[in-house]
Amino acid sequence: MKNKIKDFFEKKPNAKIKVKELAKILEANTPQQYDELKEALYFLAEESFIVRRGKRFEKIKSHIDKLVGTFQLSKEGTYAFVILKKSKLNDIFIPEKYFGSAFHGDTVEVKIVAKTRGKNLEGQVVNVIERKHEKIIGTLVKLKDLFFVEPKEKSIQRNIFIDESDLNGAKIGDLVEVIDISLSKRSSYPEGIIGTNFGAAGSFKADVASIAKEFELDTEFPPQVTKELKKLKSEITEEEIAKRLDLRDENIFTIDPFDAKDFDDAVSIKKFANGNISVGIHIADVSYYVTHKSKIYEEALKRGTSVYLVGIVIPMLPELLSNNLCSLVPNKDRLTYSVVVEFTSKLKVVDYVIKKSIINSKRRFTYEEVQEILEKQNGDFYNELSQLNKVAKYLRSERNKEGSINFTRPEVKFELDENGKPIGIKIKQMKESNQLIEELMLLANRIIAGHFNKGNKNTAKPFVYRVHDKPDEAKLYEFVQFVKSLGYKFNTSSKNLSKEFQQLLIQAEGTKEEAVLNEIAIRTMAKAIYSPNNIGHYGLGFPNYSHFTSPIRRFPDLIVHLLTYNYLENNENHLYSLEELNEICEHTSAQERNAVNAERLSIKLKQMEFLKDKLGYEFEGIISGVTNFGLFIEVTENLAEGLVRMRDLDDDYYEFDEKKYSLVGRRNKRVYRLGDKVTVKLIRVDEDKREVDFLIV
């Protein structure tokens, strides 16, 4: 009877048939034959030849086709499902014993091994076709005399068995990278080989390596780049100098953070006989050394940006360029691209020049040094610095009148010991010296973008802009409702909404709502990106804006330098098509987001490392996030963030009010609202899970 049923389904593989219909076809007419038919159907289902769906039986296609799909591990890690590709079958249930060497996210092949589990067939992973993670980072541990790597990636959830002969010198507690992962013949776990040992887990080197791997950041430059670097010459020829604006005798200087290593911008100021003043913004001419389509160029494009992790930089350009040939260090001739702007005595722009130049910086200032000179009204280049500060203040004032939004989001600065351990955290202060440089860089970026966006869209040259779209209407509506609940006004009918944002933040300055309004306003905004399509910069209130001033650390700035030179030299051969520029903008915008996420994680890990020996300490904080599972708290003194879990708010049952960003006690009506100040006690720091827990005091 089993053979008869098999023959039927082989001839009609797509048949879906009831028992009575099959009995009639197979002429199982007697009660005994009918019972034999039902018994045969039962055994064929057990053997996974057929499957019962409702009252009908159908043939399982896996006997002909491979069943391929994505392995999705449950949160418990005790079972999984394979989400099939190109199949009408439901997801395949995989019990733990049949995982094989699969990890969450892998593309796998499965075979059906048993009858249905509810609506799902039960299967076994027989082959890993493609891994989501070819290499896995984790900590080496020893369990019952066997070596395993516990992955750092939360979604993986499965330890990897390591044979003692494959440890490659790694010790218990080291952070390692596992390669060549396969199904172990000696263990029920996947098995791998230790490829790279980053050193003791939690060490500075290990943390950097872990973040670099997680965000796919290359810490080494390929051999082709190294080969090209050897051809670069530090000497600047007289022929090259003759082509440029020679500014080496002028009082030009840099102003940067005290720990900066690459100086890509310098400034200057001088008075004309007619009372007008000339302000120079001089940017490192990276394009002289990094030529279009060179190996260094291609690697810089791939990276997109430098990444600033705590205590270390993963640069876009090799050190020979970023810290040497292109860096505007004092008392060295350096090639630059200058934007020299002429102002009237009343600080109205009347003219500007965009020209390749050569400078020799007379001084390397830190922000702190400039701030002290401005406050004491005495020191090196005081006259120049005070005049530049006057210009910067005027530019800022004019920008604010147009509705430019000045968000305040504090940043932290770490003090590290010789081993990279955090021994102190300070909040960066934005003072006049910082704003001086910021305003001059904004000015140069505006002038460059505006210069190439003259006329209509048909005559404007293909270019790379830094654009910022207006807020999404739904987000704006939610923001306005929240603002009104706090007693503030916001006119959505205004022709200049950015000015409404600005006025709101000015009103909130110094109030208890200042932090929350800044944070929610930032969340309401779109993200700034790079694009050849100029829609203006909403947040800054600029119709034309680009990035020109940081070519050592941002690839779009380098592209803008190349385009600027090409257009100003009247070169009719376009370097890039609009399509190419669009691809570059999309890639560099994505790389920028990736870098920001890596930098945030680096800060978070250092904050956790700083807090881990402070269990039981109390901190003043602000509620920085409200969810249905608890309150996120940002510690005021070091900006570290942790969670007060809902279960630990045990004085009442709290309900989540999504629209008002708050938790409300059902009985006592106590409200915990975004931006509220609270005192919390640190009760847990889990560096592996990247979690910090607080209690409300």
Residue range 292-310, pLDDT digits in tens: 999 999 999 999 999 999 9
Regions of the chain short of the pLDDT cut 70 = 48, 61-65, 86, 88, 115-118, 185-187, 455-459, 572
257: left (phi over 0), alpha (psi -120 to 50) or beta: beta
Q: Within 10 A of 286 (CB to CB), how many other CB atoms are there? A: 29
Q: Give Cα 616 distance to the centre of its chain.
A: 32
Of 596, 358, 562, 610, whose CA–CA distance to 461 is shortest?
562
CA distances from 414 to 195, 201, 371, 590, 680 (A): 32, 20, 21, 27, 22
Which phi and psi (to 5°) does residue 398 adopt? -65, -40
Contact (CB, 8 A) for 367 and 257: yes
Predicted TM-score of the model (pTM): 0.80
pLDDT at 64: 43
Of 319, 340, 384, 342, whose CA–CA distance to 244 is shortest?
340
Residue range 681-693, pLDDT digits in tens: 999 999 878 899 9
Unique residue bearing structure tokens 């999504």: 658
List of residues 6+ apart from 20 with CB closer than 8 A? none
pLDDT at 391: 98
pLDDT at 455: 59
pLDDT at 506: 86
